[in-house]
Amino acid sequence: MYKVESSASGVQPKPAPKPTGHRGSVRPKPSKFQHNTTPETKLKQAPQQLKICTYNVRSLSTKERLLELTYALKNINFDIIGLGEVRRKGCNIEEHQEYILCYIGETTGLYGVGFLVNKIHKQNIVSFTGISERVAVLKLKYEHELLTLVQAYAPTEQASEEETDKFYNDIRKAHENQDRNVIVMGDFNARVGQPKKYEKFIMGNFGYGKRNERGNKLVQYACEQKLSIMNTYFKKDADRR
């Protein structure tokens, strides 16, 4: 486990003691990056529009893969990208020339989530918290408004019920005590289909496919948290769904 802090010379990982969990077992504690603002640090004003997206990168475990992503982003105008399948172990923040990479990963060669933040928003980062290797939280502040982003990578339909339940418990944990501006994004490995009559307040008319069990879980979670499933509000070509 690593506790990540900012410093004048850059972002440095520091080993932290392992906490003792339930019944004496050792449980990983979510790691948190704290960016403290001082009177001399002026927050970047909120832009009229933030370009936020999510991308399944299928591994950033090597320098070569990270360079490939850097090159691919050269002609893409983005503010923040939520990352899935990072496959990079540890909980850390890395400051690069044009962006800041935040990530958490626990299993070698599998899973892992994080964020790629355009460096123009460096002073707006409040904290990064790795809940698990499938759920991470990024907080930013623009003037008097807080924005919370939750990045998720859900288990596939072949995963056990226990694994899926743990994922949604982690998502709920990430959602606790957050401000009103919350975006939950990522790969939920779910098909929600068309909305039922009582689901019109969380879904649009452009759901895809026939709803599966993972889709039921996602819809139930959205109803609980009063979230809209935004992909269902936009009509897309079949090959882009």
| Beta strand ranges found along the chain (DSSP E) | 2-7, 10-15, 31-34, 52-56, 80-84, 90-95, 99-105, 113-118, 125-132, 135-142, 145-153, 182-187
Determine the pLDDT at residue 2: 33
- 43 and 37 Cβ atoms separated by less than 8 Å: yes
Determine the pLDDT at residue 192: 94
Determine the pLDDT at residue 42: 55
Structural domains of the chain in order of their starting residue, each with its CATH number? 2-29+49-157+182-187 (3.60.10.10)
Give DSSP secondary structure letters for 29-74: PPEEEE----TTSPPPPPPS---EEEEE-S---SHHHHHHHHHHTT
Determine the pLDDT at residue 178: 84
For 52-87, write each residue's pLDDT tens digit: 999 999 999 999 999 999 999 988 999 999 999 999
Determine the pLDDT at residue 27: 43
Determine the pLDDT at residue 180: 86
Encode the chain (241 residues) as per-residue pLDDT tens digits: 333 433 333 444 434 334 333 334 434 444 444 444 343 445 566 566 899 999 999 999 999 999 999 999 988 999 999 999 999 999 999 999 999 999 999 999 999 999 999 999 999 999 999 999 999 999 999 988 999 999 999 998 889 999 999 999 999 999 887 888 999 999 999 999 999 999 999 999 998 889 999 999 999 999 999 999 999 999 877 666 5
Determine the pLDDT at residue 177: 79
pTM: 0.80
Amino acid at 132: S
| Beta strand ranges found along 156-211 (DSSP E) | 182-187
- Collapsing DSSP to helix, strand or coil, 210 comes out as coil
